Structure 1
Amino acid sequence: MKYYPIFLELKGKDCLVVGGGSVGARKAATLEKCGANVKVISDRFSPRFDDLKKTTICLEKKEYEKQDVKGMFLVFAATNNADLNQQIKNDASMLNILCNVADAPDNSDFLLPSIVDRGDLIVAVSTSGSSPAMAKKIRQDLENYFGPEYAQLLGLMGNIRKKLLSSGQASNENKAIFHTLIEKGILELIKANDEININAVLCDVLGRKYSYQDLVSSRSDE
């Protein structure tokens, strides 16, 4: 295995993207979605950044300088200038900061996988830089397999778990409950939007105190 797969907690972490094109915009948007403090530096920004002006992303219109990488948790070199990308990578390496260089996997400290985002379900696909097109194809296949119902199921399961723990239920007893819910086809019922039978399953397994409507609304209130 060439790379070590890992999911990073980026909430509140300072991340720098250098580059105002579509690649930089994609990277910045994903970082912001994960809760990072994102700064993007470029001497000009493409229209792809227009929507990002409404987010918490900091856009700084200027030339890149060596000190820009200081204090960053992650750095992304996403310009269309190979020499500048290399300089950014070198500056980050001098400070032991991990850097991803756009379209240069062999010169990056880490790669960005193709992602299937279904709420709490994140499926990441990488071909270790060998074929981004193949990674995209696999991602598309997985998107068809893992539909939006998986996000709804995991949101429901998460709230059930919280309610069980708050009622004093031991965490090691929850495993059997979740297995039973899955075996009773709750995923398929969610996909079919069959709330009557979802509630019937919840009542059968957990009791009348567990309502699908209440559990879903408590998720949306967070």
Structure 2
Amino acid sequence: MSKYYPAQININNKKCVVVGGGNVAWRKVCSLKNAGAKVVVVSPVFCPEMEREEGIELVKQKYDEYYLNGAVIVIASTDDEKVNEKVYHDAVRKGMLVNVVDKPDYCSFIVPSSIVRGDLCITISTGGSSPAFARNIRLHLEKQFGNEYSEFTELLSEMRRKVLGEISDEKIRRGILQRIAEWDMFDFFKEKGASETRNKMLNIISGKHICK
């Protein structure tokens, strides 16, 4: 089985094409849309959820490779294997990333199971060997990573912008960013809340505390 290079792709405002109009295709559409993509869906028929989904372009036609033009990602999720295979070969020939749902041999990328807490995204993959096991791991980890991780990473993002904007010395900057991201800071956040943690981080940034 192929080894995959782990990466997160910026698809904001980029065209992504989903071929297929069923419930599985709809879930793929939602994921792409949530990442900011301009989603185009090509299918002769659409499930009710797809038809109600706002902010996407529905092309009620049989698949033609013409619809792939300009796409950065292509996902095939039809109930016709010949169509799915054609989508794969067309996309590969055009140099596009393509995923045929539940067909690892027809994928240049796979979508890992993921946990999202604000800007924090934890992905789990078995390289396509057992998506079910990856899902079970995700369900296990979801119990350990609550919404406090979302709030803490949002605070870290705020502090990072401040550090990058105010501190020119790279070594000092790196030390501060490392210090405020330590586990003891997260423990303090869970105990004292965002306001007190922000003050503590600001004290570190201003030099009132020694950075490790």
TM superposition score category, shorter chain reference: 0.7 to 0.9
Residue 95 of structure 2 is matched in structure 1 by: 96
- Contact 2:19-2:75 within 8 A present in 1 as well: yes
The separation in 1 between residues aligned to 2:64 and 2:127, in whole angstroms, is 30
The 5-angstrom pairing of residues 1-80 of structure 1 reads: 2-53=3-54, 56-80=55-79
1:101 shift after superposition: 0.3
Structure 2: stretches of 5+ with no match in the other structure: 208-212
1:41 shift after superposition: 1.1
The separation in 2 between residues aligned to 1:177 and 1:164, in whole angstroms, is 8
Residue 216 of structure 1 is matched in structure 2 by: none
Which consecutive segments of 4 or more residues in structure 1 shift more than 6 A?
none
**Partner deviation per Cα, 1:26-81 (whole Å, 9 max, x = no partner):** 1111111112111011111112225522xx21122221112111221111111111
Residue 173 of structure 2 is matched in structure 1 by: 174
Give the number of aligned pairs. Answer: 206
1:205 shift after superposition: 2.4
The separation in 2 between residues aligned to 1:88 and 1:15, in whole angstroms, is 13
Structure 1 pair 47–123 and aligned structure 2 pair: CA distance change class (3 A): same
The 5-angstrom pairing of residues 185-200 of structure 1 reads: 185-192=184-191, 194-195=193-194, 197-199=196-198
The 5-angstrom pairing of residues 150-161 of structure 1 reads: 150-161=149-160
Which deviates more from structure 2 when the two are superposed, residues 119-128 or residues 196-205? 196-205
Identity within the alignment, % = 33
1:98 shift after superposition: 2.2
CA RMSD of aligned residues (A): 2.3
Residue 119 of structure 1 is matched in structure 2 by: 118
Structure 1: stretches of 5+ with no match in the other structure: 209-222
